[in-house]
Each structure stands twice: as C-alpha cells, then as structure tokens.
Amino acid sequence: LQATGAQVEAAQIPEVGTGVGPVWLDNGWKYLFRALSESTGGVVPLVDAMDTLGTTKLATLVYQDEGSISAAENVLKEVRERGKIEITTEEVSQPNDTDWTGQLSKIVNTKPNGIMLFVQGEQASQMIKQLRNLGYKGYVYGPETMSFPKIREVGGDAANGIVFFAPHVIPDAVEEANSDLEKAFLEAYVKEYGKLPVSDVAYRVYDGMQILFRGVEDAKSIEGPAVRDAIAKISDLQLMAGKADFTQFDDGNSMAGMQVYITHGGKNILLTKFLDSNPATTYAP
C-alpha cells in the first residue's frame, strides 16, 4: 500500500488495507482506510490488563531484534508514565540464544508478580517451560507472537496464564469463537473451504469488506468519492477486530486498541471473557 497509495488516491477508489504498520496511513491520503488497529494499538490494552490482573512488580525479557525492542519500549514507556508498576529487572535475549536459564533465574529471583516476554513465538514456547520449571506460576505478558500455536503445543499447561494482544486469534474450533460475529464468519468459511483459516488475514479481509459494503450502502452509490465520504462517517460498525469509528481519526484509521487474550485451559480466549468466570488472581505467582 505504501507503494501504490498514490495511484489509489489519484484514481479516487476507496481501499481498505489489512496491514498493521503505521507508515502507510501517515501520508495524508484520503482514500485508504484500515480495518484494525495499527501495530502500536496493543500497548494501552496490555498495560490495562496488567493493572486489572493486579500486577505491581514486572520483570522483562526482550529479544534483541528491532521489532521486539521497539514494541517492548512502547509498553514500558506506558508502564512508567502510569507509575503504578515497579520494573524489577530488564533482561535481554540474543538471536543465537537457546537457553535462557540465567536470565529467567534472575527474573524469578526479583519476585515479580508479572513477567513480560517480548520474543519470537519459537523462543517463547521453550522460555515458558523454563520459566514454569523455575517455579513462577504468575501471568506472562507478551505481544501477538504469543498466539503462535506451538507455544501451547510445546508448553502444554505451562502456557496457561499468558496474556497478549493481537488483532485476531484463530480458535481451535468454530465452537470456540470469541463472539457471535466471529462464529458466523467461521461457519461460513468452513462451509466454503472445508477448514478453518490458516491465517488471520482472512479475518482482516472479511472486516475490510464489511467496511466497503457499509460505505456503498450508506452512500447509495458506487462512485469513489461518495463511498469514501460515507466510510469516513462510519462510527458504529462492529467488526471482529473491534468497533470501527472513523470519525475519531483523520488518517483512515478506525480503532486505537487491539484485543487482549489469555491462554487458559489450553485455549486462547478473550481476557474479558476469562474474567467473566474467573478471578484476576487465577494465576497468582
């Protein structure tokens, strides 16, 4: 979209993108829109979750690549600005590391009641097992990489208590959908393709099409400028990623925050759904 945005703008054809990178909506274009939060949208919801779950002492371990470092810094900035949570230690993981006993032991010894792992999904599956083997039973916070299926496959029960933000998380079965809207989408998808989506891009595209459909419906036209103006006025469209409200933004974005999930009972479920029937102290250290 960054490469083709100028052509889209010149043609005056509304386009809804599926990427979470913030850059392509920073060009002042008026015909490009987004159907989910940008990548920084998980910061505030994740720190909100820490507060809700009673975390007051947080230790961190961050993989040393640009994406993980930047994402973790954004979360820690929010934590420090709120001033409610003490950072007990900040550890790092190098790209070639295969054993994290040293870093994790240091973390556990600071007696945190929350641990933040901003690492790749492949690493997280082993880290979680090592962390639980060291006796830590509390919440583990992370980014969307924590939705990586192998974390639950390899970690088993050790993966329970992971809290993470993500635009979408594909359930293991249609019946495990986190909302009626998602369930209806998955039923239709399975009917058409015979299996669940292999990527959350299917969710993003579906949500994007709902925006275009609503724009055409409200505009009562298929002319680009009319549809564009109608989309910009949408304020109450419920998508699987959350409620779209373009009136709160002037750059094509529709929502500011990602959803927060927790791994519980071997399944990834919405944190709000988890808290409906479980106390915040379920995974106390």
DSSP string, 208-232: HHHHHHHHHHHHTS--HHHHHHHHH
Q: Do the beta carbons of residue 113 and residue 136 sit within 8 Å? A: no
pLDDT tens digits, one per residue of 87-120: 999 999 998 888 999 999 999 999 999 999 999 8
pLDDT value at position 4?
87
The rounded Cα 111 to chain-centroid distance in angstroms is 27
Q: Do the beta carbons of residue 147 and residue 93 sit within 8 Å? A: no
* Overall average pLDDT of the 259-267 stretch: 95
Listed in sequence order, the residues at least 6 apart from 54 whose beta carbon sits closer than 8 Å to its beta carbon are: 113, 280, 281
- Band of pLDDT at residue 3, cut at 50, 70 and 90: confident
pLDDT value at position 277?
97
Tell me if residue 146 falls in helix, strand or coil.
helix
Show the domains of the chain with their CATH numbers.
5-34+199-248 (no CATH), 42-167+259-277 (3.40.50.2300)
pLDDT tens digits, one per residue of 20-71: 877 888 889 999 999 999 888 999 999 999 999 999 999 999 999 888 898 8
pLDDT value at position 27?
87
Sign of CA dihedral 160, 18, 206, 246: positive
The rounded Cα 197 to chain-centroid distance in angstroms is 17
Q: What is the pTM of this model?
A: 0.83
Q: What percent of the chain has pLDDT over 70?
A: 100
pLDDT tens digits, one per residue of 202-229: 999 999 999 999 999 999 999 999 999 9
